[in-house]
Amino acid sequence: MEAQCRGLAAALDLTPVVKRVRVRALWDILPNRLWFCPLAAPRRDSDPLQPPWPELLITCGNVSAGLSLGIRRASQGRTRTVHIQDPRLDPRRFDLVLAPRHDGLTGPNVMVTRAAIHPVTPARLAEGARAWAGRLAHLPRPLVAVLIGGSNRRHRLTPAIMTRLADQLAALARRHGAGLAVTPSRRTGSENEAILRQRLAGLPAYIWDGTGDNPYFGILGLADAIVVTEDSVSMTTEACATGKPVYVAQLEGRSRRLGAFHDGLVADGITRPFTGALETWRYTPPDDTARAAAEIRRRFGWDGGPAAGV
């Protein structure tokens, strides 16, 4: 969520003041439409929400939607509020809502995006590629980037699924001479990561161990193709921002919203299911972040003022 806010701020040529907030138990269990006195919700270990209020407030997620209303009220309407994703509140209570199409939200204050807002730009990919070219030079081409998420409320990355995925990746290396650049996440889990390392042992594969510099943008920038697990809209969107072939690996479970998101990308000719094959296709990368920034400038007459809050 923070990456989406930062990506939008960067597209507006802003350096944001970032606020990370956790709310007290009572507010945490109440739907945000029932919140009373939202600015009393943050816990003491949160960043303070206090004047001077920003000219532009960018928020993402249910909790920050409620806080956004509190700041808008405290600023007497002077703070412009932009919320990313469905706020689970009447969108008319915000100046602009950026809702992905799989949320099914519409309205005069709603801009529908095809995918997630993100921080990936050609310049950032090029910078990452330069930084990591030497460290990944030992891997053969085609180079396949592998972005592995993990279990969440709707999907499960089980050891059986991890074994199947690792065996498919190993087959790419053996049959196609592909190199593999793999970045697990914190949700992947130690058992699944051990399976991955064991199945790819002895093959031309780099697997990030979570220490040192993060290779994420370097891997995306250098890759010829990308495999990403289906559990994350943001991770899939960022892969698609490269314009390279993106394969989506299925996990156990099903989410209606995530399913609609992935079905839409397949229908648009952007992604394909990962079956272990390597193909080549072209598409125009979704550019929702730039579109959103342009819409903010158009609606608000925004000229890149001194500060934005996230």
How many other C-beta atoms can be found within 10 angstroms of the C-beta atom of residue 162? 24
What is the rounded CA–CA span in Å between residue 154 and residue 156? Answer: 7
Are the beta carbons of 144 and 280 closer than 8 angstroms?
A: no
Are the beta carbons of 240 and 270 closer than 8 angstroms?
A: yes
Average pLDDT over residues 172-192: 96
**pLDDT tens track for 183-195:** 999 999 999 999 9
Local confidence band at 310 (pLDDT 50, 70, 90 cut-offs): low
Pick the CATH number of 122-273 from 3.40.640.10, 3.40.1260.20, 3.40.1390.10, 3.40.50.2000: 3.40.50.2000
- Where does residue 76 fall: left (phi above 0), alpha (psi -120 to 50 degrees), or beta otherwise? left
pLDDT reading at 273 higher than 70 = yes
pLDDT of residue 65: 95
Q: In what order do the strands lie in the sheet with 96-100?
A: 110-113, 96-100, 80-84, 56-60, 308-309
Looking at the chain, the domain(s) classified CATH 3.40.50.2000 span 122-273
Local confidence band at 309 (pLDDT 50, 70, 90 cut-offs): low
Average pLDDT over residues 254-258: 88
pLDDT of residue 303: 61
pLDDT of residue 307: 45
Give the chain's mean pLDDT.
Answer: 94
CB neighbour burial string for 103-128, b if at least 16 within 10 angstroms, e if fewer = bebeeebbbbbbbbbbbbbeebbeeb
Cα-Cα-Cα-Cα torsion 108, 114, 119, 122, nearest 10 degrees, comes to -120
pLDDT reading at 305 higher than 80 = no
